[in-house]
Amino acid sequence: MTLIQSNKGDISEKVIGSANLFTNAKSVIPGGVSANIKYFPPHPIFMEKAIGSRLVDVDGNEYIDYLLCYGALLLGHGHPEVTAAVNNQLTTAGTAVFGAPHRLEVEMANKLIEYFPGIEMVRYTNSGLEATLLTIRLAQAYTGKATIAKFEGHYHGGYNEVLVSVNPTIDEAGDENRPNSVPESKGISSHHVENTIILPFNDLKATEQILRKYKDKIAAVIIEPVQGGFIPAEEGFMVGLRELTQKLGIVLIFDEVKTGFRLTLGGAQSIFGIKPDLTALGKVLGGGFPVGAVGGHQEIMEIMDPTKGGDILSAGGKAIKKDHVLFHSGTYNGHPIVLAAGLATIKVLEGDNVYPGLLQKTKNLRSSLEKLYHSYGIEMQTVGMGSIFNIVHTNHPIRNYRDLLKADMKLREKVDYELLKMGIYTKPLNRYSMSIVHTDKDIEETVRMHEKAIKIVKGIGS
């Protein structure tokens, strides 16, 4: 049986079942995957089951999971508290969904208001993407302005307004003090490129110049307070950005889809001590189920209040005041099973020593990996905050997207493919997300496999 070869690495015949499934999938699903990010060459690995910190693929191979559904599974796979909450909700309610308000919506909203400094009211969505999309519409309705500003290298979802300058080449990106707006997909019109202004992350002086120039056009600045989940904003930058947006009448949106609950219960905003005007949440909030939420200042959030304008979908009803209310809807918003899973997740995270233990394990893995790579004379640093980090092969400080371009990505990619064959799972070049169920044994095994991968890639004898 021949090996499946790729210029990105080779995946052994141990995953031939995934290769066959991928061949079949390509005939019925574009590219064989349900989301573009799930693909990597020569083909992704198809999973069959999971428990705790471990995944098992369709060929029976086991992996220590550091992708964790792109960070969503902070409690790991199949946590008993979450499973029990889901089963209890389904059996007690007698239905999967009501299609009507229910008590868990209020209970979750109170939790988010309790923990996140910038949240006074809450609305639910079905994904983090939908949440960021709603924050932008809210900001535009509140300010009466149409243009938005985002930071170079930041990802807020796969829709037109923000799918620009996420991963541009250095030639496309332009001046570091005034980055170009570069579309990242087909189907993005020139309108969205022109009306999405790109800002340089962690550069307050250049950011201020751009925002002052376009202050009469910009409705909102949307930002990942930790870019990609692993490059933190600098404290002075965040403080300055908050002050500046307030002075200029620009809504400040924190996209905490990645960072919500991964740093602490109150997200990045509680660590920075900053109250954004609007916050988008997702991932961990759903306990493994699709979820999103928008929270923010009452004055902005109440623009969605249907008692002020009616319902556009009530056919034949009285005429509504469309200029008085922002329409927001979704059949599955505030899904009871999802919120039951999310509330169970928060309950576990509220336990004694949960966060200190999680952060200490993350620190242990990061420091052990850095020590290992340095012992082989390899430039490497782990960059991150809270329970997320990434491995970057450079000694230069990493403050923004352009700094990442200076790193040795080829070495990282080669090591990642070797690790996949050894049972360490994350999508090549992706960040590492820790869970509360990763063990000391997992960490020791991970470091040991990294050493084996280094020796293979560098051609070092055992």
Position 311 scores a pLDDT of 67
Q: What is the mean pLDDT of residues 285-302?
A: 98
Percent of the chain with pLDDT over 90: 92
| Domain range 4-78+352-458, CATH architecture | Alpha-Beta Complex (3.90)
Q: What is the mean pLDDT of residues 351-367?
A: 97
Q: CA dist 443 to 364, 432, 440, 453, Å?
A: 8, 12, 5, 15
Q: How far apart are CA 432 and CA 442, in angstroms?
A: 13
Residue 155 annotated as catalytic:
yes
**Phi and psi (nearest 5°) for 414?**
-60, -45
Q: What is the mean pLDDT of residues 308-325?
A: 67
List the catalytic residue out of 145, 150, 258, 283. 283
Residue pLDDT, tens place only, 221-247:
999 999 999 999 999 999 999 999 999
Position 10 scores a pLDDT of 57
Nearest CA to 450 out of 408, 427, 422 is that of 422
Please say if the pLDDT value at position 299 is more than 80: yes
Most confident region among 13-27, 306-320, 365-379 by mean pLDDT: 365-379
Position 324 scores a pLDDT of 76
Residue 38 annotated as catalytic:
no
Position 11 scores a pLDDT of 59
Q: What is the mean pLDDT of residues 166-173?
A: 93
Helical pair 440-458 and 409-422, crossing angle rounded to 10 deg: 120
Residues 6+ apart with CB under 8 A from 177: 200, 203, 206, 209
The CATH number given to 80-349 is 3.40.640.10
Position 13 scores a pLDDT of 73
Return mean pLDDT, the chain: 94
Please, what is the end-to-end C-alpha distance for the chain in angstroms? Answer: 27
Q: How far apart are CA 349 and CA 343, in angstroms?
A: 10
Q: How far apart are CA 58 and CA 109, in angstroms?
A: 39
Beta bridge mates, 280: 255, 294
* DSSP 8-state code for residue 144: -
Position 79 scores a pLDDT of 98
Position 12 scores a pLDDT of 65
Q: What is the mean pLDDT of residues 116-140?
A: 98
Please say if the pLDDT value at position 152 is more than 80: yes
Please say if the pLDDT value at position 6 is more than 50: no
Please say if the pLDDT value at position 435 is more than 70: yes
List where CATH 3.90.1150.10 sits in the chain: 4-78+352-458
| Rg, C-alpha atoms of the chain | 23
* DSSP 8-state code for residue 335: -
Query: If you count DSSP H runs as helices and E runs as strands, how many of each does the chain have, helices first?
Result: 16, 18
List the catalytic residue out of 155, 373, 417, 425. 155
List where CATH 3.40.640.10 sits in the chain: 80-349
Residue pLDDT, tens place only, 449-461:
999 999 999 999 7
Q: CA dist 40 to 116, 134, 362, 389, 420, Å?
A: 36, 30, 26, 20, 12
166 or 322, which is more confident: 166
List the catalytic residue out of 57, 255, 403, 442. 255
Residue 255 annotated as catalytic:
yes
Please say if the pLDDT value at position 176 is more than 80: yes
Q: Are 144 and 220 in contact (CB under 8 A)?
A: no
Q: What is the mean pLDDT of residues 396-422?
A: 95
Position 14 scores a pLDDT of 87
